[in-house]
């Protein structure tokens, strides 16, 4: 009689959970000593926990790109430097055990879940990374210091985890641009990979803060993605930058319960607002409050030049005739 194979235990598939710098160093060293294939790499996904399918898409992409014997590290750290006065640091959702189970299924090898005293052993850091002018507009204008805090912890976690690849969601478009610029400007030896926004079936971009929305507020929040889609359609049809913004703004203004912080059409490499005669790639960005919940979203658009009015050539030819 053949004995059935024992299924792998849940514990065996569980990532190594480390909380201190020393434990993290040991996990990094153990992988290096395991003899990974020379083509495989170490990848990191940085999160603040309360993980959803958007985060897990990052982990799955990291698993794929790192290679079969690569190492995938997920950091879970609610970074106090990213929260301003009156924001939800104390109430931000936390569920480490649930998060570990989720990333295990997505292919993570290590979870680094430090406390603030591990990341900032001397208290609030005196020296921080500045996002420069990228951090002064849009999110930076409404959340002063937010992007500086994000870049500071990203740089620290890159140094601590020493990855070849780092994965970030395109939903946080301004943060992704700031991280790319930091890596380039400060010569950080890592490849930054952007992963497309994951949405629910109704179009709402996944966010840990969606849990704060009531059923009615969630329906109201769908105006954000609807406005972006409509703006993208106008861009593709040759409506021009002004019409793109006007169309998106109209949808948001018509939805009771949406308070817009900003709506902007920007250059995807600088976040500078594009001129009215812009054609080509752009990002349509929105931040708004629904109830007490602040949401952000964006859509990549391609602004097509408006078609030439019919009959112009004939008219010009007639005017030139004697």
pLDDT digits (tens, 9 = 90+) for 56-100: 999 999 999 999 999 999 999 999 999 988 888 988 889 999 999
CA distance 155 to 75: 13
Q: Judge whether 167 and 203 are in contact, CB under 8 Å.
A: no
pLDDT at 320: 43
Give all strands (DSSP E) within 4-70, no chain letters.
16-18, 42-47
Q: Judge whether 207 and 55 are in contact, CB under 8 Å.
A: no
pLDDT at 313: 53
Dihedral Cα 167, 168, 170, 173, nearest 10 deg: -140
Q: What DSSP designation does 205 have?
A: B
Length of the chain equals 322
Q: What DSSP designation does 162 have?
A: -
Please list the ranges in the chain whose pLDDT falls under 70.
1-12, 311-322
pLDDT at 311: 62
CA distance 287 to 223: 11
Burial class of residue 34 in the structure, from the number of CB atoms within 10 Å of its CB (0-12 exposed, 13-18 middle, 19+ buried): exposed
Annotated catalytic residue: which of 52, 55, 146, 278?
55
Overall fold of domain 10-195:
Rossmann fold (3.40.50)
Instruction: Look up 146 and say whether it is catalytic.
Output: no
Dihedral Cα 271, 273, 274, 275, nearest 10 deg: -160
CA distance 77 to 89: 11
Helix (H) or strand (E) holding 167: strand 165-169
pLDDT at 312: 53
Dihedral Cα 217, 297, 113, 14, nearest 10 deg: 80
pLDDT at 155: 98
Q: In what order do the strands lie in the sheet with 280-290?
A: 258-266, 280-290, 293-303
Residue owning tokens 């950080």? 188
Q: Domain extents for the chain?
A: 10-195, 208-303
pTM value surpassing 0.95: no
CA angle (177, 136, 288) in 5-degree steps: 80
pLDDT at 315: 47
CATH number corresponding to 208-303: 3.30.1300.10
């Amino acid at each position: 009689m053949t004995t059935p194979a024992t299924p792998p235990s849940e514990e065996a598939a569980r990532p190594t959970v480390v909380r201190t710098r020393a434990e993290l160093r040991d996990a990094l060293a153990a992988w290096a000593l395991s003899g990974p294939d020379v083509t495989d790499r170490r990848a990191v996904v940085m999160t603040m926990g309360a993980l959803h399918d958007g985060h897990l898409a990052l982990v799955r992409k990291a698993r794929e790109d790192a290679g079969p014997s690569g190492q995938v590290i997920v950091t879970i750290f609610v970074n106090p430097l990213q929260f301003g006065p009156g924001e939800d640091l104390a109430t931000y959702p936390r569920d480490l055990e649930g998060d570990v189970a989720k990333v295990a299924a997505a292919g993570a090898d290590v979870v680094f879940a430090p406390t603030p005293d591990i990341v900032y052993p001397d208290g609030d850091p005196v020296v921080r990374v500045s996002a420069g002018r990228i951090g002064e507009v849009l999110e930076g204008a409404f959340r002063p210091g937010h992007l500086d805090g994000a870049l500071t912890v990203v740089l620290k976690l890159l140094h601590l985890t020493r990855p070849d690849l780092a994965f970030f969601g395109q939903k946080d478009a301004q943060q992704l641009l700031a991280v790319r610029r930091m890596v380039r400007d400060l010569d950080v030896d890592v490849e930054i990979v952007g992963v497309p926004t994951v949405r629910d079936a109704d179009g709402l971009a996944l966010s840990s803060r969606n849990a704060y929305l009531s059923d009615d507020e969630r329906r109201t929040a769908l105006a954000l993605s609807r406005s972006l889609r409509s703006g993208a359609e106008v861009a593709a049809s040759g409506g021009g930058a002004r019409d793109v913004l006007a169309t998106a703004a109209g949808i948001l203004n018509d939805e009771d319960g949406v308070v817009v912080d900003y709506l902007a059409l920007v250059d995807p490499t600088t976040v500078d607002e594009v001129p009215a005669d812009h054609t080509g790639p752009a990002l349509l960005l929105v931040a708004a409050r629904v109830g007490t919940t602040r949401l952000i979203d964006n859509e990549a658009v391609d602004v097509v030049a408006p078609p030439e009015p019919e009959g112009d050539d004939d008219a010009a030819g007639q005017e030139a005739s004697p």
